[in-house]
Amino acid sequence: MVVRGFGIGMSFMPAMTAAFAVLRPDQVNDASPQLNTLQRVGGSIGTAILTVVLQGKLDAAGTGRAAAAGAFGSTYWWVLAVTLVALAPAAVLTLVERRARATALPAPPAARAAADDVLEGVAA
């Protein structure tokens, strides 16, 4: 479960960053609740699917603690597989974002000086 949680945490940030990076500033107000809804609905659907998998394994296993433990173990393998599938696009999005940032034009000197002044004010 720790690995699964780490995988989910590592996949959300690049996905959201990539989604917001392609938007114009006037589109962010509309996209934010839509992406939030997609996350929540997707999480609910994923939970429902894994619950159906677990229930099917429990029904097939019959009674007994060892059979139930085997059903849960089998379902955790499904969770691991889904997590690995979700990490693949997150890794691709991270690479695309880094390449886009590396090829972006550097800020003009006046903008860099203004940013440095803001950072000095924050640090003080």
Residue 20 tokens, joined:
């917001």
Per-residue pLDDT at 51: 92
Residue 59, pLDDT > 80, answer: yes
Task: Collect contacts of 98-106 with beta carbons under 8 A, ≥24 apart.
Answer: 100/21
Return the number of other C-beta atoms located less than 10 Å from residue 71's C-beta: 20
User: Residue ranges of the domains in the chain?
Assistant: 2-123
Q: For 68-123, how does the pLDDT look when each residue is reduced to its tens digit (9 = 90+)?
A: 888 888 899 998 888 888 788 878 877 877 787 777 655 555 555 555 565 565 55
